[in-house]
Structure 1
Amino acid sequence: MNYEILDMPKKGDTVVVGMSGGVDSTLTALMLKEKGCNVIGVTMSLWDGKLPEIKSDKPMKEACYGPGEEENIEECKKFCAEHGIEYHVIEVQETYRQKVLEYFKAEYRAGRTPNPCIQCNRYIKFGALLDGIQNLSINYDYFCTGHYAKIVRPQEGVFGSDKKPCMIATAADITKDQTYFLNRIPSSVLEKVRFPLATMKKAEVFELAKKANLEAANREESQDFIGEEYFDLLFADKPSVPGDIIDLDGHVLGKHKGIEHYTIGQRRGLGVAVSYPVYVQAIDAKNNVVVLAPNDALNSSALVADDFVWPADVEPAEEFEAEIKIRLASRPVKAKISRYVPEAGDDFAYKGQPWLVTFSEPQRAVAPGQSAVLYKDNVILGGGIIVKAIK
C-alpha cells in the first residue's frame, strides 16, 4: 500500500507543543516558533506527592513520574518566557494514577508484564492532556510532540474498506523510533497530531539544540516512567505474597518474594542456585508460582493477543501477513495473523476478537501483558495485548 506523509504545521498555524523539559520537545517548540507558528507550550503534571520523596547521595535517573517534575516545569516555563511562547501546566494526576499507576500494579500482580508508556500515551499524553487543553478553551491547528515517528495517510482504504485514516509510520532514525509506544492512539486523535522530528536523526537534534544554546541539550534523557528507587514504594499498598520458584518438572528451586518482582525472560535477581543458566519462563498468578527454565525453553512459535486497536476501528475480515514487534527492543519478524477461536476450557475473558500470530521464526520470551504491534511497509496496521505464548 502507498502512503502520503502529512504536511507539517506552516507559518501562521496555532500549534500546541507537549513539553517535558527534554531536548526533543524543547527543540520541537523552538523549530515551530522559528517557522512562524503561534506556539503554545503545555506540560502535564503527573506527580501527586503520594509517595514519600527519597533523598539519595547518588544522582537518580530521570523518570516521568517523580518529584523532579517541578524542576522540569520550571525549565519549560523559563524557555517559553525567553522565546515569547504562551505556557500552561495541565494537571492530570488523578487520571495518571488510575490509568497508569494502578494498571501497572494490577498487571504485575496478575503475573503479566505491563507497558506503562503505551498506556500513558493512549490515556494521558494524547488523552487527558488534550482534554485539559480543550478545557482551557485553546483552539489549535496541530498538537505536536518530540516523538520520533511519522503520521501518514493511505492512498487506498485500509483492510478493504473505504476509510483512509491517519496512521503511524516509523521514523527516519530507526534507533530512536517510538512507534511501538504510540500504537494505541486512535486514528481520530492522530488527525491533528504531528511529529516534527520525524525525518531527523537524534545526533542532528542534539547539534541543533546545542547551536541554539538550549539548556535541555545538557539534560540526561528520561529512561523509565518511574525510578527504580520508587518501585517498592509504589507496591507498598499491599504486602507481597512469597511463593515457590520451580523448574519445568515442578521441582522447587527456591522462594520468590512476590510475583510482581518478576517478568518473562528475567535472569538476574532470581536468588536460586542452579548449575545451568535459568530464566523466568512463566508466571502462574493463580498458584503464585514462578517457573524457571533454560534459555531454549523460552522460545515460542506463536502468540494469542486481544484488545486490538485498528486504524479507524476497521478490523481485518480475513487472515493477513505482517511484521510483528513483541517489545520495543525486538526486531520486527514476519508473521501470519489469523482470527483465534478459543479452545474448550479456555476461560480467559477476552476483550474483543482475539488473534493468533504465528511467527516465521521462533521468538524468545513472549510476555503476556506486553503489546504485539503489527507493521507493514513500516506502517502500524494494529496493536493488541499479548494474552499467552504458544511454546
Structure 2
Amino acid sequence: MIAVAMSGGVDSTFAAHLLKKQKKNIFGLFALFSPKDPEKEIARVKRLTEALKIDLKIVDLTLPFREKIIGYFRKSYRQGLTPNPCIICNREIKFGLLLEEVQKLGASQIATGHYVRVIFNETNHCFELLKGKDPGKEQSYFLALLNQHQLSKALFPLGEWRKEDVIKEIVKLGLFGLTSPESQEACFIKGDYRELFTEEDFPPGEIVTVDGRIVGKHQGIYAYTIGQRRGLGVRLGRPYYVVAIDAPKNRVIIGPKKYLRCERFLVKKFHLICDAYRQKELEANVRIRYRHKEAPATIKFYTEKEAEVIFKKPQQAVTPGQFAVAYQEDKVLGGGEIHLKETFSSSD
C-alpha cells in the first residue's frame, strides 16, 4: 500500500491520480504541521480524495514540527544564520516521522508531488536522486539530505512531468478548482516570517561597515540576510550590502558588492546520498541556494563529514545557514549546511 502525502495542491493531487491510474493501492494522507486553522485545508483535501475515490487519513505532527522545524528556524536566526526549513523538514518530518506514521497505517511507501526522480543503480547498489525533468520546477535541492532508507521508501510520480502539463491534466480532470494556490513560503508562516520574532528575542543593534564604522541601527538581526541591499536605512553614497551578521555582538556588517564574493566555504556535516560517491576530492557543480545557478567546484573531504567547497570562480552572497548541494549532471551527490571559514570582524 502507498500513502500519498496530499496538501490540497495541484502536484500532490495529480501524483495521487497517476498512482491510482496505475492501479496502485493508495490512500491520501494529510499531515497537520501547524495548529492554526487547519479545518479549511482538511476540508479541501477531503473534497479532492472524494473526487479521486480514495480514503483519507490524517496524522497530527504539530508538536514534533514545532520542536524540530520551528525550533530550528528560530535557533538559526539567533545564531545569525539564514535557515532553510524545507530541507530539514523533508529529512526530519516528511520522510522521517511521517514515514514512520504511514508505516504504522499499513503503507510500505510514501508518495509526494515533488518534481524529482529516484532510480536504483544496480552497479553501486544505491538509490540515486536525480533532478526532475522540468528545469523550472525540479526540487532535488530540497531532498539532498535524504538517506538510502528514506529514498527506498519514496515515490515521486511527477519526476518525468512538466508543471504546465500537470496543470493541463488537472484542468481536464475537473479538479483544478478544488486545489489550493501554490505556496511560495514556508508552510508554517502566514505572511512575513518576521512575525515569529519579537524585540525581546532580537533587540536592536548597530549596523557597521567592513572597516568598523557605525553607520546605523538595525531592528533585529533576524531581519537581515547576506546579499541584502534594500531596507538597510543607511545612505553612504553608493550601494552597500549585508556581507556578514555578527550574532555575538548583535551587529549587521555591510560593505560594497565586492565583499559578497566568496571562493570557498566549509560544510561540517556533508551528507553523501550514496557511499559509493565518496572520494577525497569530488568535482561537482554546486548550488548554494535553491535558485542559484550551479557553479563548478572542487569538494575536498578532510574527515568523513567535514568538507571544503572551492569554487572555480567566486560566487556571490554565499550565506551561512543555507545549504550547498552538489551535482554531477542530473545526479545529486549530497550536501550540507554552509559555514564560512572566516568572516568580517566587527570590532571597533
TM-score, normalised via structure 1 length: 0.83
Partner SS for 2:191: helix
The 3 A distance-change label for structure 1 pair 76 and 311 is same
Q: 1:281 to 1:147 in 2, by over 3 A?
A: same
Structure 2 match to 1:210: 171
Aligned to 2:43: 74
Q: SS at the partner of 1:335?
A: strand
CA deviation map 1:230-282 (0-9, x unaligned): 53442239432211101111001101111111111111211112211111100
Q: Deviations over 1:266-308 (max 9, x none)?
A: 1121111221111110001121111111112100111111112
Q: 1:98 to 1:313 in 2, by over 3 A?
A: farther
Instruction: Tell me: CA distance 1:340–1:265, structure 2 relative to 1, closer, same or farther (3 Å).
Output: farther
Q: CA 1:333/1:16 → structure 2, altered by over 3 Å: closer, same or farther?
A: same
Q: Percent identity?
A: 37
Q: Hey, what does 2:340 align to over in structure 1?
A: 388
Offset, 1:216:
5.3
The equivalent residue for 1:139 is 107
**1:217 Cα offset (Å):** 6.8
- What secondary structure is seen at the aligned counterpart in 2 of 1:229? coil
Where in structure 2 are the equivalents of 1:347-386 lying within 5 Å? Answer: 353-386=305-338
- Tell me, what secondary structure is at the counterpart of 2:269? strand
Q: Which moved more, 1:315-324 or 1:271-280?
A: 315-324
Shift of 1:37: 1.4
Q: Is the 8 A contact 1:22 1:216 kept in 2?
A: no
Residue 348 of structure 1 corresponds to which residue in structure 2?
none
Task: Call closer, same or farther: CA 1:313–1:48 in 2, change over 3 Å.
Answer: farther
Which residue of the partner structure matches residue 346 of structure 2? none
Per the alignment, residue 34 of structure 1 pairs with: 21
The aligned residue for residue 63 of structure 1 is none
Q: Is 2:154 the counterpart of 1:193? A: yes
Counterpart-to-counterpart distance in 1, 2:132 and 2:177: 22
Correspondence 1:148 to 2:115: yes
Shift of 1:82: 2.8
Query: Which ranges in structure 1 are unaligned for 5 or more consecutive residues?
Result: 1-13, 50-66, 158-163, 342-351
Give the SS at the match of 1:166: strand
Counterpart mapping for 1:67-146 below 5 A: 67=37, 69-136=38-105, 138-140=106-108, 142-146=109-113
The question of whether the paired residues in 2 share the 8 Å contact of 1:371 and 1:385 is answered with yes
For residues 177 and 336 of structure 1, do their structure 2 counterparts lie closer, same or farther at Cα, with a shift above 3 Å needed? Answer: same
Unaligned runs of 5+ in 2: 344-348
Moved beyond 6 Å, runs of 4+: none
Q: Distance in 1 between matches of 2:282 and 2:274?
A: 18
Contact (CA 8 Å) 2:277, 2:333: kept in 1 or not? Answer: no
CA deviation profile, 1:197-251 (whole Å, cap 9, x unmatched): 1111111000000000103576321001144635344223943221110111100
Match of 1:251 among 210, 213, 222: 213
Could you tell me how far apart the structure 2 residues matched to 1:88 and 1:28 are?
Answer: 16
Distance 2:14 2:319 in 1: 35
1:168 maps to what in 2?
A: 129
> Does structure 2 conserve the Cα–Cα contact (< 8 Å) formed by 1:188 and 1:312?
no
CA distance in structure 1 between the aligned counterparts of 2:148 and 2:293, rounded to whole angstroms: 25
The one-letter code of the counterpart of 1:358 is: I
Moved more, 122-131 or 219-228: 219-228
Contact in 2 for aligned 1:304/1:340 (Cα 8 Å)? no
Q: CA deviation at 1:385?
A: 0.8
Q: Give the Cα separation in 1 of the matches to 2:122 and 2:236.
A: 56
Structure 1 stretch 304-313 or stretch 35-44: which is displaced more?
304-313
Residue deviations 1:301-355 (CA, integer Å, cap 9, x gap) = 11111112112456724112111000000011111111248xxxxxxxxxx6321
